[in-house]
Amino acid sequence: MQTDWNFITDTIRRRKCVLIIGPQVYTDAEGTPLEEALCRALDARNAKHPYIQSFYENDGFFLFRENKFRSRVISQMRDFYNGPFPQAEAIFEKIAQIPFQVIVSFVPDRLPSKVLTAHRVAHQTTYYHYGQAAKPLEKPVSELPVFFNLLGWVEEDESLVLTHNDLFDYLEAVFTGGRMNTELKAELLQANNYIFLGIPFGKWYMQLLLRVLGIHADGANFDRISPAPDALDPTTRSMYEQQFKIQFVEENIQAFVQELHERCADKGMLRQSPSATPDDATPPTPKLVNTPDEIMNLIAYGDTRNALDSLRVLLSPARSPHPPFRELEMQAVLMMSRFENLERKAQAGVLYTQEDNVERAKITYDLAALINRVREAAMQPA
């Protein structure tokens, strides 16, 4: 069926389009699917594997020799997901510029979020933990887009769905416990359009997961669009078309994302990275200020980096030879180190929204307190 690009871009513009990402987006240049690459990295087919008793090819689940070995396998998985995925990253580079409001991933890594962060796209991240209550979102979805891992996060061992028992516990928690964040669930239900990229529709449990997202609703006022998946048998494809009303378009994933990116560009919809400057342009000069009151204003407007830079300059011996400032200068340097370390962790994708916001709040509080001490020191006699 021909793709209705005007409809798709209109739903994105109106914040009524949800993007759902699956493992097939991660297929490499040689055509190796993510699941197969992970299986090879873990040596999961090895009959003498010390930790894995069985790997079930049809659904991608494991059976561990002992439950205690689960954490050891997950440690290896973390190394795998921290590796390079250049084909997927190239796709996510374009997706980062398309103003999706909600991105749901069936993959437990954070590569899409890392790319969003690299493009300086403010967003919040969260994941579903079937054994815990829903994690609160820091801001309404309408104010800050959400990246949501539906099947857990590789940095949180017990959130991952790796075995058949995990899947059954997950489904029981979803259908009986209602543990998904209510605001996020409302966003999913109010969408007029769902775009599926790389979803393994051939998996037997995929129908159940789509029901978790409310995409099975008969007579629902939304569309479901997916690039034609590879190796999907006609019977299964027909079932998804009839039961879930999914429209399979003929573009592959790369071609679909490229065309969507170009259509959004033509309509002036692409996000502009605040860090992007022309190749021949001079990078912007930091907004340094001169007084404690001006620095406090930077904090009030959320400009922590420039507040820290300004404070260090203010406390430097050349600007402030007053002896009481030497200790305060050292504290400012250490605080800048804390901030830079936090930025590196956020860039590497090892923090989730709640942790990130708590640490930033601590730095902001400590910075404001330090500025008050600078005021007090300035009144001391030389």
Asked if residue 12 lies in contact with residue 269, where contact means CB atoms within 8 angstroms, the answer is yes
The whole-number pLDDT of residue 171 equals: 85
User: ∠260-153-141 over CA atoms, to 5°?
Assistant: 55
**Strand 52-56 vs strand 223-227: parallel, antiparallel, or unpaired?**
unpaired
Read off the DSSP letter of residue 239.
H
pTM of this prediction exceeds 0.75: no
Residue type at 3 in one-letter notation: T
The whole-number pLDDT of residue 281 equals: 47
Provide the residue-wise pLDDT of the chain in tens; the chain has 382 residues: 678 899 999 999 988 899 999 999 999 888 899 999 999 999 999 999 999 999 998 888 999 999 999 999 999 999 999 889 999 999 999 999 999 999 999 999 989 998 988 888 888 888 888 888 777 777 767 678 889 998 999 988 999 999 999 999 888 887 766 567 778 888 887 888 889 998 888 888 888 888 777 766 554 445 667 776 656 778 888 888 877 778 887 778 899 999 999 999 999 999 876 544 444 444 444 556 678 888 888 887 778 888 888 888 888 877 777 777 888 888 988 998 888 888 877 766 666 666 777 888 889 999 999 999 888 887 776 5
Output the CA–CA distances (angstroms, integers) from residue 92 to 85, 115, 116, 205, 277, in the order listed. Answer: 10, 7, 8, 26, 20
Per-domain residue ranges of the chain: 5-266, 292-378
The whole-number pLDDT of residue 26 equals: 93
Residues in CB range of 240: below 8 A, 6 or more apart:
201, 246, 248
Output the CA–CA distances (angstroms, integers) from residue 369 to 183, 280, 373, in the order listed. Answer: 35, 40, 6
